[in-house]
Amino acid sequence: MCGIVGIVGQEPVAGRLVDALRRLEYRGYDSAGVATIHDGRLDRRRAGGKLFNLEKKLDEEPLPGIIGIAHTRWATHGVPNVTNAHPHFVDGVAVVHNGIIENFSELKDELVSDGAVFESQTDTEVVAHLLAKYRREGMSQRQAMLAMLNRVSGAYALVVIFQDDPNTIMAARFGPPLAIGHGRGEMFLGSDAIALAPFTTEITYLVDGDCAIMTRNGVEIIDYDGKPLVRKSQISQAAAFMVDKGNHRHFMEKEIYEQPEIISHALGHYIDFASHTVKPNQSDIDFGAVSGLAISACGTAYLSGLVGKYWFERYARLPVEIDVASEFRYRELPLSPSQAALFISQSGETADTLASLRYCKEQGLKIGAVVNVKESTIARESDAIFPILAGPEIGVASTKAFTCQLAVLAALAIGAGRARGTVTAADEKAMVKHLAEMPRIMSRVLNEIQPQIEALSRELSRFKDVLYLGRGTSYPLALEGALKLKEISYIHAEGYAAGELKHGPIALIDEYMPVIVIAPHDRFFEKTISNMQEVAARGGKIIFITDEAGAAASKLPTMATITLPNVDEIISPMIYSLPIQLLAYHTAVFMGTDVDQPRNLAKSVTVE
């Protein structure tokens, strides 16, 4: 979601703050702002839209100062405009905020009755007014900060500077992440370690309930009662990643084409390429001993978990309960300590997923985190970390993180099958061999299908509605294909289990309805062909994604047939992800949308 950066430095900070915000653009935002203290005075620049609008304003009106805070906003309370953009100022107090102040309405009524005048529609402004009120009542900066934190409730990362203290930045975390960066004679903070990578590699992560007082010489961390806390610093790997599109038009395109190499690295963490075996599980979760598995996640990560459910149940004979985290956390699902739970999140900070994790932990389950950020909150609160090793994913629409999640879940399911005696040594070697061959096959597919899909996407961009169908593990891919298309091209799309076609969606089929059918020549193929016949009989335009055997077996007319190599079932979800990603990407490009930062979306959803 929103990006936050702060610097207490020894040289002008406005330019460095904006550069750091640029590294957080992938999170999604609709306005940006920066504030500094110079000659005892707070000043700020804010702009709607993209960062270049803020940069233009800074070029026209430079902002001096060696201490400052900056923010990219993703609107929750109040429309996206300059007035609602952060930082918010009230009587010498400047605040930036990620999250939601749940009791803001109650606090706002109280403040207004005391004479406060609000300029924005945001929940954040109540924080600035509270701090200003406490300062007028004679409290010190620290006292005012703690008093405010004991009044607000919700999920928040808050960063504050006071006009009469040009040497200190204060921050607090309860939900959304905040990281402190340690420098030499200067200090930094950010909502993501990637933002701080140009400045430092030494990072301290705040945890829920932490308040930080940061000066040039270091940071003091206290709880909301003012009692000192100790948080260890660590070396972040964020600096190792270059956030650069290279020769590609968009980050999404780059990340699609990175997948063969990235997945090869990820698989190397879980399988032995020489012996074609899954490496021994060194985690605290014994898949051979658990009675069941609970999986929860949001968005694309949930869909990878849905594929994982098929694998764990088929290969490990392990019952799996799965739900989207926003539902899972409120279901009061009866769970047993004999079970384990897996939580999947690219960022490792997804609020609903984290809440679901904590619910399972309270029930005594061992917790596994399938995450891309090993220093994230979900990782830190888990018993076992299963990193997907995708590197930073900048495009809001997940691509390489999705396929890396799938690769990791496949390896875990095979390993669980061996541990439970449901996968033989011969089966393990055969499946791992297929996984080892997957990066090469992915490279071939990306090179071969791109021209056909680019041409097809031009035609697809003319339609307003699209259906996706699939069976087995191709059903979650149908859901993922529909999600990708609608989130970046804004074409309405829906994914269905192919067997559900007659239970409603068939009413939509006519000559204006493209139907994308994902059907490798597997044990479900003949059933899916029957559904295709029902579509063809009603004039539907079929885009058939299949393999060489499937293309040869089907005689039905299609709008297009995308033919992939024949592959084993264990790797088909990763291979078939490629055409649905490219189809969404090129369609969005033809429609002229903002591919990397689609409207209304954020990369990391750190509030409900």
Residues annotated catalytic, as ranges: 2, 603
Candidates 490, 515, 444; CA nearest to 587 is 490
Question: Distance between CA atoms of 429 and 519, rounded to whole angstroms?
Answer: 26
**Rounded-to-10 torsion of CA 44, 50, 55, 61:** -40
Backbone angles phi, psi at 526, to 5 degrees: -60, -40
Could you tell me the sign of the dihedral formed by the alpha carbons of 404, 405, 408, 414, in that order? negative
User: In the block, which residue shows the tokens 């191709």?
Assistant: 474
| Rounded-to-integer distance, Cα 20 and Cα 4, Å | 9
Instruction: Identify the H or E element spanning 359.
Output: helix 351-362
Residue bearing tokens 């609107």: 75
316 in Cβ contact with 350 (< 8 Å): no
Question: 530: Cβ–Cβ under 8 A, 6 or more apart, which residues?
Answer: none
Phi-psi region of 49 (alpha: psi -120 to 50; beta: other; left: phi over 0): left
Q: Where are the beta strands (DSSP E) in 464-510?
A: 465-470, 492-497
Query: Could you give the CA distance from residue 341 to residue 334 in angstroms, rounded to a whole number?
Result: 13
Give me 542's structure tokens: 């079929």
The answer to whether the beta carbons of residues 161 and 171 sit under 8 Å apart is no
C-alpha 253/C-alpha 441 separation (Å) is 18
User: Which residue's entry shows tokens 């060194």?
Assistant: 282
Separation of alpha carbons 341 and 527, rounded Å: 33
CA dist., res. 254 & res. 55, Å (int): 26
* CB neighbourhood size of 331 (10 A): 12
